[in-house]
C-alpha cells in the first residue's frame, strides 16, 4: 500500500553570494570556482598548449581603447577596432582547439585499427594452432590489454578536453556580450558549426573498443550465446536501480563499464550506424484526467502503462505493443512487462478496434513458428490492451526518444546495464487547438533526428542528463559485483529510484493539466555533480622499464609541486585521485595520469555557470580614474570585508544546535560505507504537490485498524461519542481554514 505525502518542507537554501546582491543555488559542500580556475586545474599534460586561452580573451575584453563611458563607471567604451581584435583572437583559439581535436581523433582511430589487426592476429593464432603447438603467451595478451587501456584513456582525455573548451568558448562569448553590449553569439554559432570540434561521437569507438577489450580480457574466448539467457529464474532476486549521469561523465562511465561488460550488439555483422541505438516509445493515456500517469506515479496496485515502441529509424516495420503492470509486494505477485509485435501498417487499425487480435495472429498460427500456448498468451494480451484503449479513450500523449548503449554478457543476464543518452520527451496529443499526431498513432513531422530543432519549445523537453539503469539478478544473500558497487557509489552517478520517462515527460509537457508531480522534479535545477568519494576512474596502465634522460627526470621532478598543488585544488574531470602519502606514486607514473582530482575530504569544485565578476578589476579601474567614485567603491569594499570577518567570527563564537547522529541503515552502509551522503529538501511549486511514495506494509495497516477499533469500543458512555463528534468538527474546521489559506482563497 502506498500513501501520498505532501512534500512541502523547505530547508535553508545553499547559496554562493556574489557582488551586486546576486546569488545562485549550489549544492551543500560544493565550492563555486570561477571557470578560469577550473580550466587551469583541469589541464591534461598532453593538451596543455591547446586549451582555449580563456584568461587572454578576458584580458582582451578589459583592454578597451575607446573613450570613458558617460555613466561615470570609469570603464572605457568598446570600439569596432576592439571588436575586430577580439574576434581575430577568438578565431585563432577556435582553430587551435579544432585542429587538435581533429588530429587526436584521427590518431585514436588509427590506433584502434592497429589494435584490431593485432588482436585478430593473436586470436587467429590461438584458434588455428595445431596439436602440440603453443598459442599466444599470456604476456602478449597483457601487452594488448595495456594498449587498449591506453587508447581508452585517450578517448576519455579527448572527451574531457572537448567538453571543457566548448564550455569555455560559450562562457567567454556570454561575458563579451554582457560587458561590451555587442552581440557576438549569433555570428559565433555560425563559425562554430563550420568547425564543430564538439560534435565528435564516441559511440562507434566505444563499441569497437568494447569488442576488442572483451576478446583480450577473455583471452580470445568471449562468452557466446543468447543475450536473453539467464538460467533458472526461480532462485534469483532481481533488483533494478536508476541513476542520472551528468553529460560531463557519460563517456567516462561508458569506458569504465566496457572494461567489465561488453557492449551488447544484436547484429554484430552489420556496420554500426547511429540510428541503431535509437529507441522511441509512444505512451498512451486519457488527456482529460491522465489516469495512467496518476496510477504509475502513485504506484497503485494494478497501475498500467501502455506504449508502442520501435527500434531504429522511422522505416522500421516492426512495432512492439507493450503493457507494464505494477504489482504490490503484499499481493505475492511481481510487476510484469508484456508485449507482442505488430506490423507498422496495422497499428492504426488495431488501436481503433478495426483489426481484431485473432486476425493479427492468424498468420503466426499457420506458420507454426511459435507454440500455441505462446500465441494464445499474445492474443489475450492484445485483446486486453485493445479493450482498455477503446473503453477508457486512451490517446497518444507523449513520445520518448533516446539512444541506448547496453552492456551485457550474451549468455549471462545476471548483470545488465543500459545507458540512455539524448533523452527527449515530445508531445503527441492534439490538445490546445494544435494537430500533432492527428488520427495517426504517432506524429510524422519528426523522426529520430535529435535534437528535433524543428519543434516549438512547448512541444519538447530535452532531458539534461543521461539515465543509467542497472539490473542485477543475484542468488539469495549474494552481494553485487564489487565493480558495480564502486560505480553506483561513485561521483559519476546520482541515484533516482523509480525514475520514469513517461512520468517525467507527461509532468513537464502538460504543466497546466498535471497537479501532482514526481519527487525528483525539484532536483532538476540542482547540479548533480558530486565530490569524488573514492579512488575511482579511468587510469592509464603503468609503464614499466621506461628509460628517461636527465632532462626528462628534471622536468618530472619540477612538476611534482605543481601536480601536488593541482591535487589540493582539485580538477573535477573524472580521473582518479591520489590520496596523499597513502597512494603516493613515483614521478615516472604521474605522467600516465590524465589529471589530478580532489581527495575524499575536499569539496568538489564546480565552475560558476553565470557571469564571472572581478571586483578587484573594477576597483583598480576606479583608482586610475580617481574621484568620489573610487572612494565610494573603496569604502564599500572595506566595509564588506569587515562585515564578512565579523560574521565569520560570530559563527565561531555563537553556539549552534547540532543534529543528533543517527546510525546509518544497513543497505546504505553496504553501498556507501562511511562516506558522506548529502541530504537536500525542496518545496513544491505554487499550486502543485510533490508525490513521495511511502510504502506501508499490510501488517502495519491492519495493526492501525485494530487500534482504531479498540479506541472506538471505549466510547460507550455518555461523554465519549459527544467528545469525539466535537473533536471531529473542530478538526474539519481547522483543516478547512488552513487549506483555504494554503490555496490563497482568503
Q: Which residues are catalytic?
A: 501
- Contact (CB, 8 A) for 470 and 245: no
Q: What is the dihedral of CA 387, 388, 393, 397, to 10 degrees?
A: -130
Other beta carbons within 10 angstroms of residue 259's beta carbon come to 18
3-state percent breakdown (helix, strand, coil) of the chain, nearest 5? 45, 15, 40
Preceding peptide of 654 cis, ω within 30°: no
Q: Which residues of 64-98 are buried (b: 16+ CB within 10 A; e: fewer)?
A: beeeeeeeeebbbebeeebeeebbeebeebbebbb
Total residue length of the chain: 746
How many CB atoms are located within 10 Å of the residue 323 CB? Answer: 19
- Long-range contacts of range 541-549, CB-CB < 8 Å, 24 or more positions apart? 541/145, 541/146, 541/149, 541/150, 541/592, 542/589, 542/592, 543/588, 543/592, 546/588, 548/588
What is the C-alpha to C-alpha distance for residues 63 and 368, in angstroms, rounded to an integer? Answer: 80
User: Cβ contacts of residue 618 below 8 Å, gap of 6+?
Assistant: 74, 633
- Written as nine digits, the cell of 62 is 578589459
Alpha carbon distance 35, 118 (integer Å): 42
Helix (H, G, I), strand (E, B) or coil at 314: coil
Q: How far apart are CA 156 and CA 154, in angstroms?
A: 5
Which H/E stretch holds residue 51? none
* C-alpha closest to that of 160 among 596, 487, 584: 596
DSSP labels, 245-302: E-GGGHHHHHHHHHTTS-B--S-TTSPP-GGGGEEEEEEEE-TTT-HHHHHHHHT-TT
Amino acid at each position: 500500500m502506498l500513501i501520498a505525502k505532501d512534500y512541502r518542507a523547505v530547508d535553508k537554501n545553499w547559496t554562493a553570494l556574489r557582488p551586486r546582491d546576486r546569488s545562485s543555488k549550489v549544492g551543500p559542500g560544493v565550492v563555486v570556482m570561477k571557470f578560469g580556475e577550473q580550466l587551469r586545474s583541469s589541464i591534461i599534460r598532453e593538451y596543455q598548449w591547446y586549451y582555449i586561452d580563456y584568461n587572454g580573451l578576458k584580458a582582451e575584453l578589459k583592454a578597451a581603447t575607446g573613450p570613458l563611458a558617460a555613466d561615470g563607471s570609469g570603464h572605457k567604451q568598446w570600439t569596432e577596432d576592439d571588436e575586430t581584435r577580439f574576434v581575430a583572437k577568438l578565431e585563432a583559439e577556435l582553430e587551435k582547439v579544432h585542429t587538435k581535436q581533429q588530429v587526436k581523433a584521427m590518431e585514436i582511430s588509427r590506433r584502434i585499427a592497429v589494435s584490431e589487426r593485432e588482436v585478430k592476429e593473436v586470436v587467429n593464432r590461438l584458434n588455428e594452432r595445431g596439436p602440440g603447438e603453443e598459442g599466444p603467451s599470456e604476456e602478449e595478451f597483457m601487452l594488448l590489454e595495456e594498449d587498449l587501456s591506453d587508447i581508452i584513456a585517450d578517448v576519455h582525455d579527448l572527451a574531457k578536453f572537448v567538453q571543457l573548451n566548448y564550455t569555455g568558448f560559450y562562457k567567454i562569448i556570454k561575458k563579451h556580450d554582457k560587458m561590451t553590449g555587442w552581440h557576438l553569439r549569433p555570428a559565433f554559432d555560425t563559425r562554430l558549426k563550420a568547425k564543430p570540434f564538439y560534435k565528435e561521437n564516441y559511440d562507434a569507438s566505444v563499441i569497437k573498443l568494447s569488442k576488442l577489450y572483451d576478446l583480450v580480457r577473455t583471452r580470445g574466448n568471449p562468452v557466446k550465446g543468447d543475450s536473453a539467457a539467464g538460467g533458472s529464474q526461480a532462485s534469483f532476486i532481481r533488483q533494478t536501480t536508476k541513476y542520472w549521469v551528468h553529460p560531463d561523465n557519460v563517456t567516462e562511465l561508458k569506458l569504465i563499464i566496457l572494461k567489465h561488460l561488453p557492449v551488447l550488439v544484436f547484429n554484430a555483422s552489420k556496420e554500426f550506424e547511429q540510428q541503431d541505438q535509437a529507441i522511441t516509445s509512444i505512451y498512451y493515456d486519457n488527456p482529460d484526467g491522465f489516469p495512467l500517469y496518476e496510477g504509475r506515479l502513485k504506484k497503485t496496485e494494478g497501475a498500467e502503462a501502455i506504449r508502442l515502441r520501435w527500434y531504429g529509424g522511422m522505416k522500421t516495420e516492426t512495432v512492439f505493443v507493450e503493457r507494464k503492470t505494477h504489482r504490490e509486494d503484499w499481493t505475492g505477485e511481481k510487476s510484469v512487462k508484456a508485449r507482442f509485435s505488430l506490423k507498422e501498417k496495422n497499428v492504426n487499425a488495431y488501436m481503433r478496434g478495426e483489426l481484431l487480435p485473432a486476425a493479427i495472429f492468424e498468420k503466426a498460427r499457420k506458420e507454426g513458428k511459435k507454440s500455441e500456448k505462446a500465441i494464445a498468451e499474445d492474443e489475450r494480451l492484445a485483446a486486453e490492451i485493445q479493450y482498455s484503449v477503446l473503453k477508457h479513450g486512451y490517446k497518444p500523449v507523449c513520445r520518448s526518444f533516446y539512444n541506448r548503449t547496453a552492456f551485457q554478457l550474451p549468455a549471462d543476464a545476471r548483470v545488465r546495464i543500459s545507458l540512455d543518452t539524448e533523452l527527449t520527451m515530445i508531445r503527441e496529443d492534439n490538445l490546445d487547438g494544435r494537430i500533432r499526431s492527428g488520427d495517426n498513432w504517432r506524429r510524422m513531422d519528426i523522426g529520430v533526428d535529435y535534437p528535433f530543432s524543428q519543434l516549438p519549445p512547448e512541444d519538447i523537453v530535452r532531458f539534461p542528463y543521461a539515465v543509467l539503469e542497472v539490473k542485477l539478478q543475484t542468488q539469495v544473500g549474494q552481494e553485487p559485483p564489487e565493480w558495480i558497487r564502486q560505480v553506483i557509489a561513485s561521483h559519476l552517478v546520482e541515484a533516482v529510484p523509480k525514475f520514469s520517462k513517461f512520468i517525467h515527460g507527461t509532468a513537464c509537457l502538460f504543466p497546466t493539466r498535471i497537479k501532482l508531480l514526481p519527487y525528483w522534479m525539484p532536483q532538476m535545477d540542482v547540479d548533480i555533480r558530486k565530490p569524488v568519494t573514492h579512488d575511482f576512474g579511468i587510469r592509464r596502465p603503468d609503464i614499466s622499464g621506461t628509460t628517461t634522460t636527465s632532462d626528462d627526470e628534471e622536468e618530472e621532478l619540477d612538476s611534482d609541486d605543481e601536480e601536488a598543488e593541482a591535487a589540493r585544488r582539485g580538477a573535477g574531470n573524472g580521473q582518479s585521485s591520489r590520496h596523499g602519502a597513502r597512494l603516493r606514486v613515483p614521478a615516472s607514473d604521474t605522467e600516465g595520469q590524465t589529471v589530478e582530482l580532489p581527495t575524499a575530504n575536499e569539496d568538489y569544485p564546480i565552475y560558476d555557470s553565470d557571469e564571472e565578476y572581478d571586483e578587484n578589476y573594477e576597483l583598480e579601474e576606479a583608482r586610475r580614474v580617481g574621484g568620489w567614485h573610487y572612494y565610494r567603491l573603496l569604502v564599500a569594499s572595506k566595509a564588506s570585508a569587515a562585515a564578512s570577518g565579523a560574521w565569520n567570527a560570530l559563527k565561531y563564537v555563537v553556539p549552534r544546535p547540532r543534529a543528533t547522529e543517527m546510525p546509518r541503515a544497513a543497505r546504505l552502509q553496504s553501498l556507501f560505507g562511511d562516506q558522506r551522503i548529502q541530504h537536500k529538501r525542496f518545496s513544491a511549486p505554487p499550486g502543485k504537490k510533490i508525490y513521495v511514495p511511502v510504502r506501508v506494509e499490510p501488517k502495519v495497516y491492519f495493526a492501525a485498524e485494530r487500534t482504531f477499533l479498540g479506541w472506538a469500543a471505549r466510547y460507550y458512555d455518555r461523554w465519549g461519542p459527544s467528545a469525539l463528534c466535537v473533536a471531529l468538527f473542530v478538526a474539519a474546521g481547522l483543516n478547512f481554514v488552513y487549506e483555504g489559506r494554503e490555496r490563497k482563497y482568503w
